[in-house]
Amino acid sequence: MDRLIGIGVTGTPSRAGDVSSIVTTADDELTVDDEIVARARIHTRDVLDGCDLEIDRDALEWTVTTRPRRRAGACRWDADREVATIVLTRQAYERYEWEAFAGVVRHELVHVWEFQRFGESSHGPRFREQATRLEAPRHCETFAEPRYVLRCLAADCDWEAHRHRASKPVKAPGTYRCGTCGNTYEVEHVDSGRTWTTASGFGGAKAALGDRW
């Protein structure tokens, strides 16, 4: 315990650097999640001010998830507490334009309204009618995490590409180059966080992961 505290205060520069970068990352994550909820709440207030959809905002909670999931948003209903929780997916917030993400929020608000009024929710006619009024998408927005992320290795280049299949640039990154600056790039298997830069690296990662591939 003492030692952990000591690293941050008196550690070698490189270690202190590591610690502070970890702390910064945690702060950034907190901030992004706070920002997502804050913007969603403001949007909710604006939407509800402009229409007569009766939602009890005191019985509405918000949470942000980073678990790779297929949906940009979801709505949970706690029937005992009669509280609805809108779950928003951070990766969707980061990739969508705000307009599209706001549509996800409105879609989930219709679920909240149904849960609070009727104790159940679906995508039936009642849902569709309100979704149309709120100009919300009628279907839950499906959101698929890419399976692979290609990332340029040049320090000053932020080129990134997403792939769902093990295409040639995924399997043999050594024979391709960054789409922006022409540098080499690495490939990350998103689920496991494993990365490689060559065809043999790809083979090694695949073999090491086995069933988790």
Nearer to Zn ion, 76 or 206 (CB): 76
Task: Give helix then strand counts, H and E, for the chain.
Answer: 7, 7
157 touching Zn ion, by CB under 5 A: yes
Binding to Zn ion, residues 161-180 (CB under 5 A): 178, 180
Contact pick of 77, 159, 176, 213 for Zn ion (by CB under 5 A) = 159
Number of residues that bind Zn ion (CB under 5 A): 9
Binding to Zn ion, residues 49-108 (CB under 5 A): none
- What is the Cα–Cα distance from 64 to 87, expressed in whole angstroms? 6
List, as one string, the DSSP characters of 43-102: HHHHHHHTS-----GGGEEEEEE-S--SBSEEEEEETTTTEEEEEEEHHHHHHS-HHHHH
CB of 73 to Zn ion, least distance (A): 8
Nearer to Zn ion, 183 or 195 (CB): 183
Beta bridge partners, 32, equal none
- What is the Cα–Cα distance from 105 to 74, expressed in whole angstroms? 9
- Whether residue 139 contacts residue 105, with contact meaning beta carbons closer than 8 Å, is answered with no
Nearer to Zn ion, 53 or 181 (CB): 181
- What is the Cα–Cα distance from 181 to 147, expressed in whole angstroms? 23
CB of 113 to Zn ion, least distance (A): 12
Binding to Zn ion, residues 115-154 (CB under 5 A): 140, 152, 154
Binding to Zn ion, residues 182-211 (CB under 5 A): 183
> For binding to Zn ion (CB under 5 A), which residues are involved?
140, 152, 154, 157, 159, 178, 180-181, 183
